[in-house]
Amino acid sequence: MALADDFKSFCGDLLLDNLEEMQKTAGEIAKKLNSHYYNLSDEKSEHLYIVGSVGRETAAKNNSDLDIIFDLPNSVYQKYNAYASNGQSALLQEVKEVLLERYPKTTMKGDGQVVVIEFTRYTVELVPAFKQSDGRFKYPDTHNGGSWKYTDPLSEQNECTNCNTVSNGIYYDFCHLIRSWKNNIGFDFGGLLIDTLVYNHFSSNSNYSASGHEDYIDILQSTFEYLKGLNKDQSYWFAVGSNQQVSNSDNGTFVAKADAAYSSLKSTIDNGDDVNSTLQTLFGKAFPASQSSIIKEAAAASVRSYRNTEQFIEDLFPVDIRYSLHLDCKVSQDGWRDFFLIDYLRGHGILRHNKKLDFFIARTNAPKPYSIYWKVKNVGKVAESKDCIRGQIKRTDSDHQKESTDFYGPHFVECYLVKENVCVARGRIDVPIGTA
């Protein structure tokens, strides 16, 4: 039952930890807009809808985005729909100016379909919209000269609630677990897509309703098996509840990541290895360690001859991965032609000594500005004997990190992008170095 207790504890720790603060902020925004558009002086809930992952109750700890819809009077729609060109943009600017009266020192912009309000711990994305008789919302889209589009977040919320009820609370737990896995491994996997795919999997496994925490390891393995079997090239899926098209995240990167997670978990279970250790690899060091590994680590620490200098990004910033980040490395040596590490490892499997390494951000879809942090970790007996495991996280704000192949071991380099004091993208590249 120890593993069941570990899952219960970890899932409890994944719950959104600033919901009350978000709700208070949403109420203040509603109060301002209700006063301006409805002449309601102190109304903090009317016409306001918290949507997105927070509204679906699938947002996990460190979530850095609060999505809100505010239902405007139809007269406002008539006014801006009558514009000859892009009344949608004019509407966003008006709402932004109204909110600037309430938050004059807060960074704010009208962007595409939303008014973006950047608070310290999270960003509010406010959609000014018009509720329709069928429960959908008509909202402005400023692209391509302006148009009106429709969204149906309340249907998404209702269906997520129903699935969670039928599964006795397991559905929300697994939406949180998959987010935690995504944040730890570091890849773009949209929240609505996560909720949709977990929903699709759960809908095909009604037996989960009779499950408990003791079954979470089997459900997790089954969920990864489901995800790895999906088509990474599929353009979109139909969202839970609303059936709107939800786009594939990062060209289906999640499929390969799920394949690796499934293989790792299956191998661990089949071989009777330490499951908690594998779960820490998937979810991060916040997942509880097994008692045997705690004892083993304590014994190792008592005779350790090197300083454990490794730092972890989770200890420095909240982690909410929202963008992709891919690293590569240019390898050079006197008398040799330069080559790229990822291509080289596919054919050779290992690097030799006396090479210069230039790690760099190959691509990212994260919008600037952001801060750039690097971590270089040396692994192996040689690094330990030289008391040089490193692993500190350092801000450089450079796209490049230069190193060299000094001694044998399975080293790795990680890079983190930080916006508004939240880690929003992370990437890793492994560097196996041979003895010659």
125-179 pLDDT tens trace: 999 999 999 999 999 999 999 999 999 999 999 999 999 999 999 999 999 999 9
Q: What is the pLDDT of residue 237?
A: 98
Q: Are residues 204 and 105 in the same domain?
A: no
Using a pLDDT cut of 70, give the percent of the chain over it.
Answer: 93
Q: What is the pLDDT of residue 340?
A: 80
Query: 396 pLDDT band (50/70/90 cuts)?
Result: very high
Indicate the number of domains in the chain. Answer: 3
Mean of the per-residue pLDDT values of the chain: 91
Q: Are residues 310 and 260 in the same domain?
A: no
Last residue of some domain: 108, 133, 151?
Answer: 151
CATH number of 64's domain = 3.30.460.90
Which of 23-37, 202-216, 330-344, 419-433 shows the lowest per-residue confidence on average (mean pLDDT)? 330-344
Q: Are residues 168 and 138 in the same domain?
A: no
283 lies in some domain: no
223-267 pLDDT tens trace: 999 999 999 999 999 999 999 999 998 899 999 999 999 999 999
Q: What is the pLDDT of residue 410?
A: 75
CATH number of 327's domain = 2.60.40.10
Q: Are residues 198 and 163 in the same domain?
A: yes
> Would you say residue 436 has pLDDT above 60?
no
Query: 369 pLDDT band (50/70/90 cuts)?
Result: very high
297 lies in some domain: no
Return the number of other C-beta atoms located less than 10 Å from residue 45's C-beta.
13
Q: What is the pLDDT of residue 342?
A: 74
100 lies in some domain: yes
Q: What is the pLDDT of residue 309?
A: 84
Q: Are residues 428 and 319 in the same domain?
A: yes
Look up the domain containing 313 and give its range: 305-433
402-415 pLDDT tens trace: 987 766 667 889 99
